[in-house]
Chain A
């Protein structure tokens, strides 16, 4: 089970959290002005990287707040967690602090 560092509560076990999928996907401002291909891309296409990805997490059984995280999808190690609205930190997998598969 992963240990996840909630920016508000500190390290907590994964079962307290819900993963909300890839972060930083902006909904088109005016959906009616977007073509089928772009709308499909917004709805269904994700980066699905083998490496670091930014994703949304909800600390549902804790503070109840959403935050963003950088996680390496090869090792599952969290590289960083940061608050909603902040830009994606410029870090890569090498800076992962601890192996999260405790």
Chain B
């Protein structure tokens, strides 16, 4: 791997940028790997990267049905934060946050991580009480989160309207200053480049059709559209299609797949300094470095794999955006799209073993998986390398839907997040 540096940039600038190599190979699949990862999104590529870089497991293949980063990795609204209520979630998302903070240097790839702050608005008494509880719980876990008055919210985010005449006036907000955004494509590409350089085979246009098993039931490999590939361990990281892949392996999963929509506006000059989220009126907004307002909408109410959603969902979010930020009332929207997210009953992910020996799963990130990409990959790589979960992801077992030991972030936030 040729490292990016001032020297290499200057060299290439002098020669018309004709000398850059491809950032990852397009290898033919080998007969057998130590670990096969099903799904080449951010989480899958991060898993492969940490398998190689932390655990020295380099005989690894990432199998991707389409192209890497083409699913939810390229469709999310790029928000990163770690201010979750429960200890288990705080541990997992803060683990990711710490990795985010050094990620560009670690990967030698600019993921454009920008800690511009994530402000979560409260619009009613319940919000205020709930967010203050989050603030205190976060502090006990060593995670920065602070309570702002409406005036302090306005000072932090000047476009925000704190008029008492709003239908749902702003009563305050919880601010995580270390939160922010990152460039989602760069995350996938940076991990892919780093993994490839360490010997991982990234195999695109390769759909997994079934599981091969030894007579004792343990994993022997996978059947794919490009032939049979042997594997000692298989990790499924297929997001919205986890249920489909696991169904082909003969397993049911406690997830349902629903469309989640996002949209961007026409690009404008820098007007929006941070990320603002409002669960109560359902608005998520930030401004990309390109100048587009990046807006997250909600999920549809039904199971769907259509990668599109109802227009009323987008309208609902834009109503809230226009109310909170009156200056955006005449902006035009450029594009909207949907991604299919796999939602668990408690809105926490599943990271760990399955009933099949040698088969592991990393799924159920629902509407908020992007922020966890480095942490998820890091602990899932540990799980795949050792066969046992890392202590951070041990509580996120599939087993909890039998024992009842849920991590109920759904109840904690009262919305999808």
Contact = CB atoms under 8 A, between A and B. Distances in A.
Given A45-B252, A45-B254, A45-B401, A19 B305 contact: no
A22 B53 CA distance: 43
Interface stretch (B155-163, B308-316, B324-332, B377-385): B308-316
Interface stretch (A24-32, A35-43, A85-93): A35-43
Contact of A40 (B256, B257, B402): B402
Contacts of B224: none
Contact of A71 (B254, B256, B302, B310): B302
B333 interface: no
A48 B312 contact: no
A19 B252 contact: no
Contact of A74 (B243, B255, B306, B401): B306
A44 B304 CA distance: 18
Contacts of B404: 36, 40
A14 B312 contact: yes
B392 interface: no
B402 A53 contact: no
A18 B311 contact: no
Given A2-B310, A36-B402, A43-B345, A53 B254 contact: no
B401 A40 contact: yes
A101 B13 CA distance: 50
A83 to B, nearest CB: 19
A18 B301 contact: yes
A53 B303 contact: yes
A67 to B, nearest CB: 14
B75 to A, nearest CB: 18
B58 to A, nearest CB: 34
A36 B304 CA distance: 29
A75 B306 contact: yes
A63 interface: no
B197 interface: no
Contact of B302 (A15, A43, A50, A55): A55
A15 B313 CA distance: 10
Interface in B134-156: none
Interface in B290-310: 301-306, 308, 310
A1 B311 contact: yes
Contact of A73 (B252, B301, B305, B345): B305
A29 B241 CA distance: 33
Interface in B219-272: 241, 243-244, 252-257
Nearest to A57: B302
Contacts of B243: 48, 50
B401 A44 contact: yes
A74 B305 contact: yes
Given A1-B311, A2-B310, A73 B303 contact: yes
Given A73-B257, A101-B308, 17 more contacts: A2-B310, A14-B310, A15-B312, A19-B302, A40-B401, A40-B402, A43-B401, A44-B345, A45-B252, A46-B254, A48-B253, A49-B303, A50-B241, A55-B302, A55-B303, A73-B306, A76-B302
Interface of A: 1-2, 14-15, 18-19, 21-22, 36-37, 40-41, 43-50, 53, 55, 71, 73-76, 101
30 contacts: A1-B310, A1-B311, A2-B310, A14-B310, A14-B312, A19-B301, A19-B302, A21-B256, A36-B402, A36-B404, A40-B254, A40-B402, A40-B404, A43-B401, A45-B253, A46-B254, A47-B252, A48-B253, A48-B257, A48-B303, A50-B241, A71-B302, A73-B302, A73-B305, A74-B304, A74-B305, A74-B306, A75-B306, A76-B304, A76-B306
